[in-house]
Structure 1
Amino acid sequence: MTLLDFDSERLSEFAAQVRADYDELKARNLKLNLTRGKPSSEQLDLADELLELPGRDDHLDADGADVRNYGNLKGIRDIRQIWAELLGLDVEHVLAGDSSSLNIMFDLISWSYAFGNNDSERPWKDEGTVKWICPVPGYDRHFTLTGQFGFEMVTVPMLEDGPDLDAVRELVKDPQVKGMWAVPVFANPTGITFSEEVARGLAGMETAAPDFRIVWDNAYVVHTLTNEFPPVHNVIRFAEEAGHPNRFWYMSSTSKITHAGSGVSFFASSKANLDWYLSIAGVRGIGPNKVNQLAHAKYFGDAEGVRAVMRKHAGVLAPKFNRVLEILDSRLGGYEVASWTRPEGGYFISLDVIDGTASRVVELAKEAGIALTGAGSSFPHKDDPNNRNIRLAPTLPPVDELEVAMDGVATCVLLAAVEKLGA
């Protein structure tokens, strides 16, 4: 029998027990945080070898250039080759930058806004309105970025194999729709991976705007929670075959693989897109941190070296995710007041509660000393029209703290539910 099937007397008794549990929770004076998907210290320790690389007398890249000096906007071939192999791309389509792919995304959009990109008829700032497709639930920092430019963000549902293709195809008939966000592997926050059918559909669809771009942010491409890695779709080739070679701005990085604040970012795209990017990047700066790029190349060795490191990360993270799922199953499984994803990779679990109660769950958790990502954060402008989605980030806390926090979250979900049911 689910909570929704309880008669008034049983619901009243259950509500009294839940309120007693919540009072006990508050009395513990907790200070726990599940807000951001940060690597734990144990994960960061895995890459401490980097602090001694490339070494005092090791400063030449594979092409014989001194990485301590200026130049080479593309980044060194040593690390580009590793990432090209990892992503199944031609190395000539891959650039290596500094620590954050988010910085490159900001550059691409801001330069398109200021100057127009290589397929634009005019700068985006001179368009009456710029619209951007946002699959939801999605990545909050993506939405913050396009929100910063005042773009009109149009949502499409995220399905089990990627965004709703029919909805996307309809939206791109509008010439004011200039782009779309995509996290194609272990998506934030649902953990789903786009199918080849969806990837090819996005590559091949006709768009009214000639300068339409999909930001293909493969941030979690190797962040498995098992020993297996999903297939990586070569969307650059798909787009070229479909006659839309400039369709994708493809991102990846080492940010949650090595040291989050000092990694290497990657931008892959068509030659025309890369030439346009480099023409402006060369004005902005003289080259990336190639010493750090060489250190990363030495640390990984090759693409299989990256996978070996990620299996170590999975060894740290999988027990945390499994414990969260066990607690959700045991505390909420029979009541039909919530549902949640069971990701095989990535950094998050997406929790849906009874419509209209997500913000109340977050409020109750905060009052009990448990910080959660704000309700609606996985939607543009933090506006979840159903007020149901909460993103859980199990990666940072140790397991013992995670257990306490998730048990508390379950209590808050049940309390918000009984309140909604009028008990």
Structure 2
Amino acid sequence: MPLQLHSLTDRELEVELARCRAEYDTVKARGLALDITRGKPAPEQLDLSAAMLVLPGDGDYVIDGIDCRNYGELAGLPSLRALFGEVLEIAPKSLIAGGTSSLETMYDVLSFAWIHGTGGTGAPWSAAPVKFLCPVPGYDRHFAITESFGIELVPVPLLSDGPDINAIRNLVASDPQIKGIWCVPVYSNPSGVTYSEQVTRDLLGMETAAPDFRIFWDNAYAVHALAGDAPESFDILGTATHVGNPDRPFVFASTSKMTIAGGGVSFFAGSDANIAWYLNHLSRKRVGQDKVNQLRHVRFFRDADGVRAHMRKHQRILAPKFELVTSTLRRELGNSGIASWTEPTGGYFVNLEVLPGTATRVVGLAKDVGIALTPAGSAFPSGNDPRDSHIRLAPSLPSEQELRLAIDGLCICIRLAATELVHNDRHAGVHRSPASV
């Protein structure tokens, strides 16, 4: 049973601090070189798509009456749009199959809005100050894209069923500078939260001071379940139309964590007006998509059931790693009062909360023993976690043996950082509640 630090006497606390330091020194002497910084697929996951590297093969590059080696078809292959339209519950006419990076598509969409506005009579977003809402903890690359335009990021809490809709309503109703919100609706990065239908409906239907307010709906983990089946896709576009805001959602997805990371296919979806707007501006920067890569994906997956079967193979590789992480945290830190964590059912991350004021110290301690973690606070705009308590764990890339060493070492770092803090507080006469984590 992990010790309750706040219940220890001064002498017991000194003994515990010495023990933690000795354990830490033992880990440091091992000379580890472990990396759990980002949600990269493991080599075994990438091997699942090795057959794609010899597709399409046989000199047959024609599908849908299209020679995939030639220019054209800016909207992507109809067969691929139909296939993933079924997966994502989006009509093929509303879905664009693009290049290899959904982040690039998001950057393009924001760039188009920044330079040209979102269509109709709306002014370019660059014409006046712009703010974006960011559910936190959230995805650091979303924040980086927005910040690169000089856009002010406004954090809103991410709750168990999605972002705090009451806080969002109050903000968007009165501030016309708020033009958008970043959302990862299924197995959110990094918390693993899936938005409820009610929260989604509220986001689509709420009154906003900015008439060109947009939801950047990054459905990156739509089929990435760790147990059982992923939730059915919500009809985001149909519901937006039903509530009278058809142009509000910009929808993104990709196959990058399904097939070959950095070599998949990205998708953009939206209303008829948004699709026309996007293709109009996209046509200025490219003549067509990489349709040979798209053809590989069609022939590899074949149909929506092929996608689901493929993701079950990923699940069999990933699920034991996530169980290893959460079971180790339970064993080493459960009921300690110094850490809490999510036990996600999908996605690529475990959301770890340590004693406020210790996350930066934990990451530094881990680095010094050869365990690379995502920087503390990275799941907050500008890396500023006001509590200094959040750490994102990415279990996917290491082998199970490497992951076991990394999480065992991390637990020692967490105990040492917490014991140091409580020890220093005790000597400074500061009282800190053990429930504050």
**What is the TM-score normalised by the length of structure 1?**
0.98
Question: Quick check: 1:279 aligned with 2:276?
Answer: no
Query: Who is 2:94 aligned against?
Result: 93
- SS of match in other structure, 1:172: helix
Amino acid at match of 1:136: V
Is the Cα contact below 8 Å between 1:175 and 1:208 reproduced in 2?
A: yes
Query: Who is 2:409 aligned against?
Result: 408
Amino acid at match of 1:158: L
Query: Who is 1:12 aligned against?
Result: 14
- SS of match in other structure, 1:284: coil
> Aligned partners of 2:188 and 2:107: how far apart in 1?
20
> Aligned partners of 1:205 and 1:56: how far apart in 2?
53
Matches within 5 A, 1:101-120: 101-119=102-120
Query: Who is 1:27 aligned against?
Result: 29
Question: Quick check: 1:368 aligned with 2:369?
Answer: yes
> Aligned partners of 2:214 and 2:7: how far apart in 1?
48
Query: Who is 1:245 aligned against?
Result: 246
> Aligned partners of 1:121 and 1:60: how far apart in 2?
41
Amino acid at match of 2:357: G
> Aligned partners of 1:315 and 1:290: how far apart in 2?
31
- SS of match in other structure, 2:38: coil
Query: Who is 1:42 aligned against?
Result: 44
Q: Kindly tell me the number of residue pairs found equivalent between the two proteins.
A: 421
> Aligned partners of 2:238 and 2:205: how far apart in 1?
11
Once the two structures are TM-superposed, the CA of residue 119 in structure 1 deviates from its matched residue by 4.5
> Aligned partners of 1:30 and 1:321: how far apart in 2?
21
Query: Who is 1:84 aligned against?
Result: 85
Query: Who is 2:131 aligned against?
Result: 131
Is the Cα contact below 8 Å between 1:184 and 1:194 reproduced in 2?
A: yes
Alignment partner of 1:3 out of 5, 9, 14: 5
> Aligned partners of 1:167 and 1:119: how far apart in 2?
29
Query: Who is 1:142 aligned against?
Result: 142
Amino acid at match of 1:204: G
Is the Cα contact below 8 Å between 1:22 and 1:411 reproduced in 2?
A: yes
Query: Who is 2:349 aligned against?
Result: 348
> Aligned partners of 2:255 and 2:122: how far apart in 1?
35
Once the two structures are TM-superposed, the CA of residue 120 in structure 1 deviates from its matched residue by 5.5
> Percent of pairs identical after alignment?
51
Matches within 5 A, 1:148-163: 148-163=148-163
Deviations 1:45-91 (CA, angstroms, capped at 9, x unpaired): 00011011111322111x21111110011000111111110111111
- SS of match in other structure, 2:176: coil
| More off after superposition, 228-237 vs 184-193 | 228-237
Once the two structures are TM-superposed, the CA of residue 2 in structure 1 deviates from its matched residue by 2.2
> Aligned partners of 1:188 and 1:7: how far apart in 2?
40
> Aligned partners of 1:334 and 1:213: how far apart in 2?
42
- SS of match in other structure, 1:361: helix
Question: Quick check: 1:169 aligned with 2:176?
Answer: no
Query: Who is 2:269 aligned against?
Result: 268
Question: Quick check: 1:382 aligned with 2:392?
Answer: no
Is the Cα contact below 8 Å between 2:205 and 2:240 reproduced in 1?
A: yes
> Aligned partners of 1:265 and 1:251: how far apart in 2?
7
Task: Give 5+ residue unaligned stretches, structure 1.
Answer: none
Once the two structures are TM-superposed, the CA of residue 325 in structure 1 deviates from its matched residue by 0.7
Is the Cα contact below 8 Å between 1:120 and 1:211 reproduced in 2?
A: no
> Aligned partners of 2:393 and 2:192: how far apart in 1?
12
- SS of match in other structure, 2:283: helix
- SS of match in other structure, 1:309: helix
- SS of match in other structure, 1:286: coil
> Aligned partners of 1:253 and 1:5: how far apart in 2?
49
**What is the TM-score normalised by the length of structure 2?**
0.95
Once the two structures are TM-superposed, the CA of residue 228 in structure 1 deviates from its matched residue by 1.5
Is the Cα contact below 8 Å between 1:119 and 1:210 reproduced in 2?
A: no
